[in-house]
């Protein structure tokens, strides 16, 4: 049996961690020796081959129309769903309806090839598995994988399927807020209860959850979310502001930039870099040399205060959602033992300031890397579940033994009725 790792499959970045029960924990360095890899697949315009993760960054800049991002947001979705419409508005690649009768799934075109989202998700998870094997020097065959707390059955199934296609047996699908609590090392109490609030501001979505441990069991008490409020929205607002500045001295340039996917891609990459401005730096440059096929150099300085002002309405909305989650679950702010900062953008000083105002300094926990805490928690679950595989929710044919999707009624091999996995 190979090693078991924990994977946090994010819509922006995928992270993996290996740990043994109670002992050493090792981050799994990805291809560029970074602790995470972009959840991205892109076609290399020169070779026509698909590049995955960090290797896809260069190809994506050259040919953004064939750079597939936000693929996790398409898992388990039908083409007509509003969530798919939202993804379409944010990406340069083509999303098509699967050619079948009934409500077709959302599929993705890369060049002239059509892919199901789970195939692309599998490519990302396979890359992660390979990187983990290279780093750990042993086969990696099992994983506990995070799923968003708000995901439905079909989405969870397709995350599971992607992991299986990537050559990983899934030992557990862990709800992200529960993984975060483990990741922060908050052991469940054997008796009585403890209540924590998980503030997860990720790459594309915000989720707030109240997790209560009752007699050793984690219970997701209440949640609220905004599915389109995350780091990507902040990058977009920075791009919009930079372009508004350009327009004042070059009329029409904004429209021309918007019509040029390569320039827009580069601007977004620069906006993301500026957003991550370390707290000791007063300003950042957004620099794109040779936009509009060499016609234009964008060089805009952004001050910390103005960047915070642009993002402030979004962070204020997350605070409203925190209040709503508290109301839904009944605990008052006083009953919350700790507030866990999870997800890359939760590093923003503005987030911390507003949460401190609400809960007080001593309750805010940010001592674990917010990008990695979910993967750390998943790794802890993987280490404890070694040997168990979570296939029991699938349907099994009693005659031929084939496993089927959870909602299948009859076996496609024998035509007979299905039982439980």
Ligand X SMILES: Nc1ncnc2c1ncn2[C@@H]1O[C@H](COP(=O)(O)OP(=O)(O)OP(=O)(O)O)[C@@H](O)[C@H]1O
Positions touching ligand X (CB under 6 A) are 10-13, 202-205, 230-232, 272, 275-276, 343-345, 347-348, 371
- Footprint (CB under 5 A) of Mg ion, residues 154-213: 202
**Partner in contact with 272, chosen from ligand X, Mg ion, none, beta carbon below 5 to 8 Å by kind:** ligand X
| Beta strands at 193-201 and 206-214: parallel, antiparallel or unpaired | antiparallel
Residue number, 12 or 17, with CB nearest to ligand X: 12
**Partner in contact with 348, chosen from Mg ion, ligand X, none, beta carbon below 5 to 8 Å by kind:** ligand X
**Partner in contact with 209, chosen from Mg ion, ligand X, none, beta carbon below 5 to 8 Å by kind:** none
Residue number, 177 or 202, with CB nearest to Mg ion: 202
**Partner in contact with 13, chosen from Mg ion, ligand X, none, beta carbon below 5 to 8 Å by kind:** ligand X
Question: What's the closest the beta carbon of residue 289 comes to ligand X, in angstroms?
Answer: 22
**Partner in contact with 205, chosen from Mg ion, ligand X, none, beta carbon below 5 to 8 Å by kind:** ligand X
Return d(Cα 401, Cα 147) in angstroms, integer: 27
**Partner in contact with 51, chosen from ligand X, Mg ion, none, beta carbon below 5 to 8 Å by kind:** none
Could you tell me which stretch among 4-12, 184-192, 246-254, 397-405 binds Mg ion (CB under 5 A)? 4-12
- Asked whether the beta carbons of 50 and 122 are under 8 A apart, the reply is no
Question: What's the closest the beta carbon of residue 290 comes to ligand X, in angstroms?
Answer: 24
- Residue facing Mg ion at closest CB distance: 202
**Partner in contact with 38, chosen from ligand X, Mg ion, none, beta carbon below 5 to 8 Å by kind:** none
419: Cβ–Cβ under 8 A, 6 or more apart, which residues? 395, 396, 397, 398
Under rule CB under 5 A, residue 10 binds Mg ion? yes
Residue number, 2 or 29, with CB nearest to ligand X: 29
Residue number, 329 or 370, with CB nearest to Mg ion: 370
Binding mask 202-221 for Mg ion (x = CB under 5 A): x-------------------
Residue number, 35 or 261, with CB nearest to ligand X: 35
Could you tell me which stretch among 10-18, 30-38, 95-103, 346-354 binds Mg ion (CB under 5 A)? 10-18
Residue number, 198 or 239, with CB nearest to Mg ion: 198
Residue number, 59 or 176, with CB nearest to Mg ion: 176
Residue number, 63 or 235, with CB nearest to ligand X: 235
**Partner in contact with 224, chosen from ligand X, Mg ion, none, beta carbon below 5 to 8 Å by kind:** none
Residue number, 12 or 418, with CB nearest to ligand X: 12
**Partner in contact with 344, chosen from ligand X, Mg ion, none, beta carbon below 5 to 8 Å by kind:** ligand X
Question: What's the closest the beta carbon of residue 404 comes to Mg ion, in angstroms?
Answer: 30
How many CB atoms lie under 10 A from the CB of residue 98? 14
- By CB under 5 A, name the binding residues for Mg ion: 10, 202
């Amino acid at each position: 049996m190979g090693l078991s790792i924990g994977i946090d499959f994010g819509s922006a970045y995928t992270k993996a961690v290996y740990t043994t029960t109670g002992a050493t924990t090792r981050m799994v360095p990805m291809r560029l020796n970074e602790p995470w890899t972009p959840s991205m697949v892109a076609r290399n315009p020169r070779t026509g081959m698909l590049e995955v993760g960090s290797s896809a960054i260069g190809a994506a800049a050259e040919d953004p129309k064939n750079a597939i991002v936000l693929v996790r947001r398409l898992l388990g979705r039908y083409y007509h769903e509003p969530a798919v419409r939202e993804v379409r508005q944010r990406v340069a690649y083509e999303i098509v309806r699967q050619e079948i009768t009934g409500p077709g799934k959302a599929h993705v075109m890369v060049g002239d090839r059509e892919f199901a989202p789970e195939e692309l998700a599998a490519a990302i998870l396979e890359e992660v598995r390979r990187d983990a094997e290279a780093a750990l020097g042993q086969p990696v065959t099992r994983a506990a994988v995070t799923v968003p707390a708000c995901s439905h059955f079909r989405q969870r199934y397709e995350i599971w399927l992607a992991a299986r296609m990537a050559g990983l047996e899934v030992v557990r699908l862990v709800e992200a807020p529960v993984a975060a609590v483990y990741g922060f090392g908050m052991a469940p109490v054997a008796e009585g209860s403890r209540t924590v609030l998980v503030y997860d501001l990720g790459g594309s979505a915000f989720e707030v959850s109240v997790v209560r441990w009752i007699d050793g069991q984690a219970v997701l008490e209440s949640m609220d979310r905004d599915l389109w409020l995350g780091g990507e929205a902040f990058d977009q607002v920075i791009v919009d502001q930079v372009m508004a500045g350009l327009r004042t001295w070059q009329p029409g340039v904004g429209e021309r930039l918007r019509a040029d996917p390569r320039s827009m891609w580069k601007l977004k990459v620069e906006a993301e870099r500026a957003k991550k401005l370390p707290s000791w730096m007063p300003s950042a440059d957004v620099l794109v040399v040779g936009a509009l096929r060499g016609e234009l150099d964008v060089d805009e300085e952004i001050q910390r205060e103005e960047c915070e002002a642009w993002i402030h309405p979004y962070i204020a909305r997350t605070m409203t959602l925190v209040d709503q989650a508290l109301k839904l679950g009944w605990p008052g702010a006083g009953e919350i033992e700790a507030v866990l900062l999870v997800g890359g953008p939760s590093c923003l000083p503005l987030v911390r300031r507003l949460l401190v105002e609400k809960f007080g300094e001593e309750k805010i926990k940010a001592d674990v890397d917010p990008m990695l805490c979910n993967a750390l928690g998943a790794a802890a679950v993987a280490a404890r579940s070694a040997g168990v595989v979570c296939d029991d929710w699938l349907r099994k044919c009693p005659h031929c033994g084939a496993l089927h999707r959870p909602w299948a009624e009859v076996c496609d091999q024998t035509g007979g009725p299905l039982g439980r996995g």
